[in-house]
Amino acid sequence: MIKPIPGKGRIIFHIDMNCFYASVEMAHNPKLKGKPLAIAGNPEERKGIVVTSSYEARAKGVKTTMPLWQAKKLCPELIVMRPHFERYRIASREIFKRLSDITPYVQPVSIDEGYMDVTESYLHRSPVDSAIELQQTLLKELDLPCSIGIAPNKFLAKMASDMKKPLGITVLRKRDIQHILWPLPVADMYGVGKKTAAKLNTIDVKTIGDLAQQDIYPLKQILGINGERLRNRANGIDTRPVDPDAIYEFKSIGSSQTLPHDTTDVTDIKRLLNQLGDNVERRMKRKAAAGKSVQLTIRYHDRRTITRSKKLQTYIESKEDILLVATDLLDKHWNLEPIRLLGITVQDVEEKQNIAKQLDLFTYEKVANREKLDSAIDELSQKYGKETFKSLSEPSQSSREEQQPKTSFQKDFLDDYKR
């Protein structure tokens, strides 16, 4: 972790790519530039929602998560494209490579945003000049626009990067927060969602300034420890380091998907469960992880959503084990009303290397035989190459792209730029 420079503090950049998916498509096909463009999960079915859109589309009222039919009503000339996840992944890798050329203290938080601690990198140079140079590098070399927030901590840098888009650079100092941040509605504060904002409104906290000056006790009463954390941030206090290893921290791995239509058809529902089980197992394998509880999410036709989970005695990782628990939860808790969305999440996840193997008499022989096989494969791989025994179950490049999440990414690719 970088220590602050005496008298100067830390210098944190928050990099936020502008309309990332749409910008990547425009870089790939310049003819799309200047046109209203939306990237949508599935244009042919109801689950086709807007994942992101260009500023030209946003000017017509098109917003993220908006159903396509509504977006097209607002903007009849809207160009709609399916997402190309592998294309976005490659672009993300190139972005973070360039950030890591500047400083080793880079923390990706999603495919299109991340933090940089540049305290040591710019001891004799203006951070603003450096941000301009970085912004221009990404634009010239990758044809991708971004906004950059500059601040003494992560929270203020994040707030700053949202203030000027596209291609904005904003400096937010602690001495500026009273006249820049405090007048804003509390719902505009990073880390405050609609439900939290509604709770804060009940104790007459309407603005970020109200939150900054509110007593700790009522905040803890309604929000627990998060109340104190949010109050600190409203006052510009955030001691979290920019941690390059944070991408390896995860406690759950899941997948969810909306059905093409509300249904009570058991065949359709079980088919989707099976697909979700595939997705979760694949992500568990990529993480070399296992978990000790399974959660099922059911969203009904009227958008009521329930979650039910089961804690297990042992760690599981296979699709078969995951589906066994998920199906049991469905059988017990589905009220037979039409289902709109299903989700499966494995929780209490740990990397397998951290899970002690407790072998009993029934599993010892199986594991011992497997270890002999693994040893033989290792020896032959050293002799003939690592690809010799590539798993037949490993999806091809094209199928991996097909199988990527429909509207968002997990964090299991965010260290690509280091490879």
Give the integer Cα–Cα distance in Å for 273 and 253: 15
Give the integer Cα–Cα distance in Å for 373 and 282: 22
Confidence of residue 374 (pLDDT cuts 50, 70, 90): low
Q: What is the pLDDT of residue 122?
A: 62
Active site residue 113: yes
* DSSP code, position 153: S
Q: How far is CA 211 from CA 204, 217, 379, in A?
A: 9, 12, 62
Q: pLDDT by residue (tens digit) across 157-200?
A: 999 999 999 999 999 999 999 999 999 999 999 999 989 999 99
Give the integer Cα–Cα distance in Å for 52 and 14: 20
Mean per-residue pLDDT, 31-42: 91
Which residue positions form the known binding site for Mg(2+)?
16, 112
Mean per-residue pLDDT, 74-92: 94
In DSSP notation, 233-283 reads: HHTT-------GGGGG--SEEEEEEEEEEEE--HHHHHHHHHHHHHHHHHH
49-67 b/e (C-beta count within 10 Å ≥ 16 → b)? bbbbbbbbbbeeebeeebe
**Strand 289-300, strand 350-351: pairing:** antiparallel
Give the integer Cα–Cα distance in Å for 394 and 397: 9
Rounded (10°) CA dihedral 119, 121, 125, 127: -50
Terminal C-alpha separation, the chain: 22
Q: Which two tokens stand for residue 211?
A: 């939150």
Q: Which residue has the tokens 């971004």?
A: 146
Confidence of residue 337 (pLDDT cuts 50, 70, 90): very high
**Strand 169-171, strand 146-151: pairing:** parallel
H/E element, 68: helix 68-74
Q: What is the pLDDT of residue 378?
A: 55
Q: Which two tokens stand for residue 265?
A: 């058809």
Q: What is the pLDDT of residue 29?
A: 97
Which residue positions form the known binding site?
16, 112
Q: Under the phi-then-psi rule, with left for phi > 0, alpha for psi from -120 to 50, and beta for the rest, what region is 84?
A: beta
H/E element, 228: helix 225-234
Q: pLDDT by residue (tens digit) across 228-274?
A: 999 999 999 999 999 998 877 778 899 999 888 899 999 999 999 99
Contact partners, residue 395, CB within 8 Å, separation at least 6: 282, 403
Give the integer Cα–Cα distance in Å for 116 and 99: 8
Residue 28 backbone phi and psi in degrees, to 5: -70, -35
Q: pLDDT by residue (tens digit) across 103-112?
A: 999 999 999 9
Residue 396 backbone phi and psi in degrees, to 5: -70, 170
Closest CA to 188 of 173, 214, 210: 210
Evaluate the CA torsion angle 77, 81, 87, 91 in order and state its sign: positive
Closest CA to 236 of 169, 170, 181: 181
Domains of the chain: 20-86 (3.40.1170.60), 177-234 (1.10.150.20), 250-356 (3.30.1490.100), 361-404 (no CATH)
**pTM for this model (two decimals):** 0.70
Q: Which residue has the tokens 């309604």?
A: 222
Q: Which residue has the tokens 């009940």?
A: 202
Give the integer Cα–Cα distance in Å for 169 and 145: 11
Calculate the average pLDDT of the chain.
85
- Asked if the model's pLDDT at residue 66 lies above 70, the reply is yes
Q: What is the pLDDT of residue 166?
A: 94
CA angle 112, 56, 159 (to 5 degrees): 40
Q: What is the pLDDT of residue 411?
A: 59
- Asked if the model's pLDDT at residue 353 lies above 90, the reply is no
CB atoms within 10 A of CB 100: 17
Give the integer Cα–Cα distance in Å for 39 and 189: 27
Which of 25, 113, 281, 317 is the catalytic position?
A: 113
Q: What is the pLDDT of residue 45?
A: 57
Q: What percent of the chain has pLDDT over 70?
A: 82
Q: Which two tokens stand for residue 313?
A: 């005695």
Highest mean pLDDT pick, 142-146, 278-282, 365-369: 142-146
Q: Which residue has the tokens 């096909």?
A: 29
Q: pLDDT by residue (tens digit) across 107-162?
A: 999 999 999 999 987 656 789 999 999 999 999 999 999 999 999 999 999 999 99
